[in-house]
Amino acid sequence: MKKLFIETYGCQMNFADSEVVASILKEMYSLTKDIQEADLILINTCSIRDKAEQRIHKRLKELEAYKRKKRTMQVGLLGCMAERMKEELLQTEPVLDFIAGPDAYRSLPQLIADSQHGHTSFNVLLSKEETYDNIMPVRYDANGVSAFVSIMRGCNNFCSYCVVPYTRGRERSRSPKTILGEIEDLLKDNYKEVTLLGQNVNSYYWKEEGQEVSFAKLMAMVAEMSPELRVRFATSHPKDLSDELIETIARYDNICKCIHLPVQSGSDRMLKLMNRHYDSAWYLERIAAIRRYMPDCSITTDVIAGFCTETEEEHQMTLEMFRKVRYDYAYMFKFSMRPNTYAEKHLHDDVTEEVKTRRLEEIIALQGQIALENNRKEIGKEYEVLVEGESHRSKERLFGRNSQNKVIVFERHEVQPGQYVKVKVVDCTAATLLGELCTQ
């Protein structure tokens, strides 16, 4: 059998998509981790920021050397960059034999065949229906404990800075039946945790034969499959975070107490320009609602520093938001103007690179301090930890996560990955908790 090497960039959705791609091609190729022996290299790409795209252009240049050594090798580019740049990429990147957008993976066998016959081929059609519903992903890089399950695709929100609605198309949900079927198979394979994935999971909606399934209902259905199964989800939009969903998370012990709620900015003027459909008061009310139902729930976020016309005062409002919410973790970015977005067409990217960098550094410094203070409060507490594997630093230690998604490292003793164990927190850094195994 020919050999396939897949390299994935970007968000968890992309990693889940690569597993779908591996499944579509499994009759034609076996997977390899050694790029040198590959007959086909697929690069699954991300367009979210300019830096992400630059990294991929650089990687494509490196691939030219592999192709020179092995003339029959094919290289295909998948994902958001394929969708954003379309055929232009085939002209500017001669290493590429074909490209496929996020809704075109079923046509990969055809694209590969066409390019083998000397045609450069592409399919970047977006679909209103495609969810790869009936495809069982090949979990080639999984740890055997925790898996991602894609429950919807696309996004209808059109945040003014964001390229995703253009690269991944309109929102569409997958049928509960095939989602539950996929999780059933994971349970049979002894998986202990699933993360339900979508760009905007809480707008999940399915209707069939008069039966409606909301995201909260779907979460409950998954949680009831087994008390041994932990359920997580990413990412939720603040405007769709209903009380019904918060109540559902609170009601089930096995739905993890961690909500990723991207804030993006603490300034109402910025939030409006970003087209986020909430203001800071609404956001803080949602945080209060989470804390009302689940005082122990961890909250994490995404934030953008230096969006168009952001003033110093507005940046201070973001810092203030961080002080108020006290996030356990944050993904923090400098604004990067993306072609064809509303921001590119109508707003001015007038915050200098220097100021963006300084603002981002201030947010990172504050968040580091808050995360450390939050973690210090964990010392002395006991948590149920799902063990995921060996610690990167030492074979004598294992790591796992508590329900709040905090990483806890502890001495291994007789414990195996996939087990639930009780661990007492004895020390911490800003990123990790250090624990001791409790004797039962």
Distance in angstroms (rounded) separating the CA atoms of residues 176 and 131: 12
Looking at the Cβ atoms of 120 and 336, the one nearer to ligand SAM is: 336
Q: Where are the beta strands (DSSP E) in 277-428?
A: 298-305, 329-334, 382-390, 397-401, 407-411, 420-428
Distance in angstroms (rounded) separating the CA atoms of residues 275 and 261: 16
One residue of 4, 11, 186, 249 binding ligand SAM per CB under 6 A: 11
Residue bearing tokens 């804390």: 291
Residue 218, amino acid: L
Q: Hey, is 366 helix, strand or coil? A: helix
CB 398 within 8 A of CB 412: yes
Is position 155 an interface residue for ligand SF4 (rule: CB under 6 A)? yes
Residue 8 main-chain phi, psi, to 5 deg: -120, 135
Is position 344 an interface residue for ligand SAM (rule: CB under 6 A)? no
Q: How far apart are the first and last CA of the chain?
A: 49
Is position 261 an interface residue for ligand SF4 (rule: CB under 6 A)? no
Token representation of residue 414: 């007789």
Looking at the Cβ atoms of 100 and 164, the one nearer to ligand SAM is: 164
Looking at the Cβ atoms of 14 and 419, the one nearer to ligand SAM is: 14
The number of helix segments (H) and strand segments (E) in the chain equals: 14, 21
Nearest to 103 by CA among 133, 124, 81: 124
Distance in angstroms (rounded) separating the CA atoms of residues 217 and 248: 8
User: In the bound complex, what is the minimum distance in angstroms from residue 287's beta carbon to ligand SF4?
Assistant: 18
Is position 332 an interface residue for ligand SF4 (rule: CB under 6 A)? no
Is position 300 an interface residue for ligand SF4 (rule: CB under 6 A)? no
Peptide bond into 120 cis (omega under 30): no
Is position 402 an interface residue for ligand SF4 (rule: CB under 6 A)? no
One residue of 101, 102, 262, 435 binding ligand SAM per CB under 6 A: 262
User: In the bound complex, what is the minimum distance in angstroms from residue 302's beta carbon to ligand SAM?
Assistant: 3
Residue 215, amino acid: F
Looking at the Cβ atoms of 217 and 237, the one nearer to ligand SAM is: 237
Token representation of residue 158: 């059109």
CB 83 within 8 A of CB 44: no
Token representation of residue 230: 């932990």
Site for ligand SF4 in 167-226 (CB under 6 A): 199-200
Looking at the Cβ atoms of 204 and 399, the one nearer to ligand SF4 is: 204
| Binding characters for ligand SAM, 295-334, by CB under 6 A (x = yes) | -------x-x----------------------------x-
Site for ligand SAM in 131-170 (CB under 6 A): 161-162, 164
CB 303 within 8 A of CB 363: yes
Is position 336 an interface residue for ligand SAM (rule: CB under 6 A)? yes
Select the binding partner of residue 336 from ligand SF4, ligand SAM, none (C-beta < 5 to 8 A, by kind): ligand SAM
Site for ligand SAM in 15-74 (CB under 6 A): 48-49
Angle of helix 176-188 versus helix 215-223 axis, rounded to 10: 30
H or E stretch at 227: none
User: In the bound complex, what is the minimum distance in angstroms from residue 357's beta carbon to ligand SAM?
Assistant: 13
One residue of 172, 192, 232, 237 binding ligand SAM per CB under 6 A: 237
According to DSSP, the β-strands at 258-260 and 205-208 are unpaired
One residue of 8, 45, 200, 374 binding ligand SAM per CB under 6 A: 200
Is position 356 an interface residue for ligand SAM (rule: CB under 6 A)? no
Name the residues that contact ligand SF4, by CB under 6 A: 155, 157-159, 162, 164-165, 199-200, 237
Name the residues that contact ligand SAM, by CB under 6 A: 11, 48-49, 161-162, 164, 199-200, 235, 237, 262, 264, 302, 304, 333, 335-336, 338
